[in-house]
């Protein structure tokens, strides 16, 4: 079983489960959440039914993607909207430390390198009686080559190998993500998202862009203005200020949206 070299957390990742193959690391944790210790990290060598935001699914090749999920027990339900945002910050910080590159966050679930998708995030909650558990799922493209994305029909995706021309250890990257997430979550828990909001806005590719929103209310188009203190995307839509709290934001000029 691979080890998490460089892990420096107090709790996250201390209980580490490696699975050769699983449908989804998020599903695995949700199925075993009550018996797993707080902070459990699950990494899969191969994930064949991973899920992203909305109803997107994917399968990844052996060791080409870092497919990981971790468990947070006793989370305040009010933190759930901000959880994907601070997870994105943790991933961006970790990848910068690993590569020296500049990574941006597309609100609320993607991390980009040179305007291409490198990472997807899916945070889910479960309620057991009076307890709220959160599962944070992260998929980072590590070792795919261009031929992989061409075969998969993913022209707007990239990997660390493609971006930086070298191999990276998925498990070292996972340790870095845990190292950066833990203090961000502690700060969210102690002083709230406002203390992290400016850093997120600076890292957010979406802010300032013309966007299309697929929301429960239907399709909307407008200008993304900023991120609110609750983690919602503040937009100008037909002259009205609207807070988007759910749905997908497509940025004009990105992922084929013109």
User: Are 160 and 68 in a shared domain?
Assistant: yes
Same domain, yes or no: 39 and 167: yes
Cα separation, 250 vs 218, in Å, equals: 13
Specify burial of residue 193 (Cβ count, 10 A radius: 0-12, 13-18, 19+). buried
Q: 3-state DSSP call for residue 103? A: coil
Predicted confidence at residue 257, as pLDDT, reads 63
Domain count, the chain: 2
Query: Do residues 185 and 235 both lie within one domain?
Result: no
pLDDT of residue 112: 98
pLDDT of residue 111: 98
Whether 38 and 66 have beta carbons less than 8 Å apart is answered as no
pLDDT of residue 151: 93
Going residue by residue through the chain, which has 258 residues, state the pLDDT in tens, using 9 for 90 and above. 466 889 999 999 999 999 999 999 999 999 999 999 999 999 999 888 655 544 444 445 455 899 999 999 999 999 999 999 999 999 999 999 999 999 999 999 999 999 999 999 999 999 999 999 999 999 999 999 999 999 999 999 999 999 999 999 999 999 999 999 999 999 999 999 999 999 999 999 999 999 998 876 678 899 999 999 999 999 999 999 999 987 778 898 787 664
DSSP string of 86-103, one letter each residue: HHHHHHHHHHHHHH----
pLDDT at 214: 80
Residues 149, 30 share a domain: yes
Query: Are both 37 and 116 inside the same structural domain?
Result: yes
What pLDDT shows up at residue 59? 44
Straight-line distance from the first to the last Cα atom of the chain, in angstroms, rounded to the nearest whole number: 45
What's the domain range around 157?
16-202
DSSP 8-state symbol, 188? H
Cis bond leading into 225, ω under 30°? Answer: no
Asked whether residue 5 is assigned to any structural domain, the reply reads: no
pLDDT computed for residue 51 by the predictor: 54
**CA 168/CA 67 separation, integer angstroms:** 14
Burial of 217 (0-12, 13-18, 19+ CB in 10 A): exposed
Q: Is residue 3 part of a domain?
A: no
Please report the pLDDT score of residue 48 as a whole number: 80
Same domain, 131 and 210: no
Domain limit, last residue, from 202, 223, 241 = 202
- Alpha-helical (H) ranges within 100-169 are 146-152, 160-164
Q: CA 66: distance to chain centroid?
A: 12
């Amino acid at each position: 079983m691979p080890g998490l070299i460089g892990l420096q957390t107090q709790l996250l990742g201390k209980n580490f489960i490696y699975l050769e193959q699983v449908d989804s690391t998020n599903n695995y944790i949700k199925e075993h959440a009550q018996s797993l210790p707080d902070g459990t990290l699950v990494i899969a060598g191969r994930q064949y039914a991973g899920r992203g935001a909305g109803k997107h699914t994917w399968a990844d090749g052996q060791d080409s993607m870092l497919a990981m999920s971790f468990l947070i027990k006793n989370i305040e339900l009010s933190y759930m909207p901000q959880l994907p945002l601070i997870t994105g910050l943790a991933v961006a910080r970790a990848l910068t430390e690993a590569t020296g590159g500049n990574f941006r966050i597309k609100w609320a679930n993607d991390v980009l390198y040179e305007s291409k998708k490198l990472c997807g995030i899916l945070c889910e909650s479960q309620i057991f009686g009076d307890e709220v558990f959160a599962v944070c799922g992260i998929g980072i493209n590590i070792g795919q080559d261009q031929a992989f994305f061409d075969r998969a029909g993913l022209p707007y995706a990239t990997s660390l190998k493609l971006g930086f021309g070298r191999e990276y250890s998925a498990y070292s990257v996972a340790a870095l993500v845990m190292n950066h997430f833990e203090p961000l979550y502690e700060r969210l828990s102690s002083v709230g998202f406002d203390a992290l909001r400016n850093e997120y806005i600076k890292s957010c590719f979406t802010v300032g862009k013309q966007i299309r929103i697929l929301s429960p209310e239907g399709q909307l188009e407008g200008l993304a203005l900023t991120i609110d203190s609750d983690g919602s995307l503040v937009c100008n839509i037909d002259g009205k200020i609207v807070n988007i709290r759910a749905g997908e934001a497509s940025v004009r000029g990105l992922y084929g949206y013109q």
